[in-house]
Amino acid sequence: RAAPLVLGIETSCDETGVGIVRGTDLLANTIASSMEEHARYGGVVPEVAARAHLEALGPAIRQALDEASVSLADLDAVAVTSGPGLAGALMVGVGAAKALSISLGVPLYGVNHLVGHVGADLLDDRAPLETPTVALLVSGGHTSLLLVRDLVSDVELLGETIDDAAGEAFDKVARLLGLPYPGGPEIDRAAIGGDPDSIRFPRGLTKPKDLERHRYDFSFSGLKTAVARWVERAEAAGDEVPLADVAASFREAVVDVLVGKAIAACVDLGVPRLLLGGGVVANARLRQVAEQRADAAGISLRIPPFSLCTDNGAMIAALGAKLIMAGHEASGLGFGADSTLP
């Protein structure tokens, strides 16, 4: 039986993503972002995101079909992110996906956004993803550590952030350093030439007492406060703030904890594989430290191409296709948008 042609829709945050795959072949990956509209607020505004999806989704579907050179009538199924994410934003995608499913008479698969990030790896040209694998997903909206025993039936949440997401920490610290949104690339640029060991910023939830209850959890709000205090003190003393050192030291603290906990999970659980995903993977220092420490621990590291790491519809389509090929039942039309889906 031929691999299924699946259209995937992603609207959980600020990217309107529509992807089309045939099995594990990527045919189209269209992304429209409302990032610029959010920039003046310094973060994603849910109401603005939902309205932007409503405007962008129709044209994005059209564009993806053109890019893939297929027509709606060719589709075998539709997949959509049902959660977690911003409720109003998710509803736009779920509503559109249901309309397509009904009108085309094809099955609909509602999928978990985080598992979708892991599914992005299915579209890689390299050897297929081996399981079990640990997955570290880091973006502006989430910071999660997963144990993936089987992509379609057995994904366990090992830990997540108890306050800010890693990307959110980059955005907030950038703001307090007077840099624009999104903060990740700005901090990266500011850190050039800086000494990552010049300021020892706190590593959240790494003290022995914290590790008992939060071994695989993350916390970045204390780090953000520590950076704010450090800058305030320097300014109060009349010193010039060494932007490159502060940026490099902050980034080092985030990367150290992210990679440290991910590798620890691999070692503890005897899983010699680690997958990275999410927009923060754009951080070159994160990739570098992950490569070094994975290498030293004998863990094989996988990072999907960056265009598949940020939120996109192709990863949702890929997971939908995988569900079909694994013989899973469709979701039907009765599911909603679940902003707090585990």
Residues annotated in a binding site for Fe cation: 113, 117, 311
Order of all β-strands in the sheet with 300-302: 154-160, 143-150, 133-138, 273-277, 300-302
Q: Within 10 Å of residue 24's Cβ, how many Cβ atoms?
A: 17
83 contact, one of Zn ion, ligand KG4, none, CB 5-8 Å limit per kind:
none
For residue 305, CA distances in Å to 27, 240, 250 come to: 15, 39, 26
170 contact, one of ligand KG4, Zn ion, none, CB 5-8 Å limit per kind:
ligand KG4
Rounded Cα distance between 342 and 325, Å, is 24
Q: How far is the CB of 83 from Zn ion (least distance, A)?
A: 12
Assess contact for 26 and 314: CB atoms under 8 A.
yes
Amino acid making up residue 184: G
271 contact, one of Zn ion, ligand KG4, none, CB 5-8 Å limit per kind:
none
Q: Which residues from 171-210 bind ligand KG4, rule CB under 6 A?
A: 171, 182-185, 188
171 contact, one of ligand KG4, Zn ion, none, CB 5-8 Å limit per kind:
ligand KG4
Q: Which two tokens stand for residue 216?
A: 């695989």
Site map for Zn ion, 161-190, x if CB under 5 A? ------------------------------
Instruction: Answer yes or no whether residue 139 interacts with Zn ion by CB under 5 A.
Output: yes
Instruction: Answer yes or no whether residue 311 interacts with Zn ion by CB under 5 A.
Output: yes
Instruction: Answer yes or no whether residue 121 interacts with Zn ion by CB under 5 A.
Output: no
Nearer to ligand KG4, 112 or 310 (CB): 310
Assess contact for 319 and 123: CB atoms under 8 A.
no
Main-chain dihedrals φ then ψ at residue 238, nearest 5 degrees: 80, 15
Q: Which residues from 148-167 bind ligand KG4, rule CB under 6 A?
A: 167
Tell me which of 94, 283, 294, 321 binds ligand KG4, using CB under 6 A: 283
Instruction: Answer yes or no whether residue 315 interacts with ligand KG4 by CB under 6 A.
Output: no
Secondary structure (DSSP) of 108-168 = EEEEEHHHHHHHGGGG-SSSPPPSSEEEEEESSS-EEEEEEEETTTEEEEEEEBSS--HHH
Q: Which parts are annotated binding residues for substrate?
A: 137-141, 171, 184, 188, 283
Interacting residues with Zn ion (CB under 5 A): 139, 311
Chain positions contacting ligand KG4, by CB under 6 A: 13, 139-141, 167-168, 170-171, 182-185, 188, 278-280, 282-283, 310-311
